[in-house]
Amino acid sequence: ADKNAPARLAFGPRLIGYNLRMNFSANGWGNPDERGQAIRELNRNEDFRKAVTMALDRKALGDSLVKGPFTAIYPGGFSSGTSFYDRKSTVYYPFDLEGAKALLAKAGLKDTDGDGIVNFPAGTAGGKDVEIVMLVNNDYTTDK
């Protein structure tokens, strides 16, 4: 292969990764309702994003998606199994529910109705619960 090629492929061990795709758009593209726009603004808040990543139990997540004892904590971004991975540019946030709760409070999110779920501020999205939906594909034929 030409080392100056504009693209290249890297093959390594079988890895299954995941990522969070937060909508950062603040310009109203797609005509979101009030709640949708509030979520977009929230996704732009660094403390909220850190809280979300700290609230993810990556080990439990990996164990629930694939069989076997070989799951590894995955921080997101490029997989460590590829030549594109750079450890110095990868930030690992530990699983820390108390730290996540503190960051949610710093982002202005508190459980105002006592149901254990943080709410939007009263003037935003009607003060409703902040809900995060996680979609996964666990239909890998090699895991059956």
pLDDT by residue for the chain (144 residues), tens only, comes to 577 888 767 665 556 666 677 777 777 777 888 888 888 889 899 999 999 999 988 888 777 777 767 677 767 667 777 778 788 888 888 999 999 999 999 999 999 999 999 999 888 888 899 988 777 666 666 555
pTM above 0.85, yes or no: no
What does the block give as tokens for 51? 């809280």
Alpha carbon distance 125, 129 (integer Å) = 9
Evaluate whether 43 touches 49 at the Cβ level (below 8 Å).
yes
* Domains of the chain from N-terminus onward: 34-143 (3.10.105.10)
Main-chain phi, psi angles of 85, to 5 degrees: -65, 135
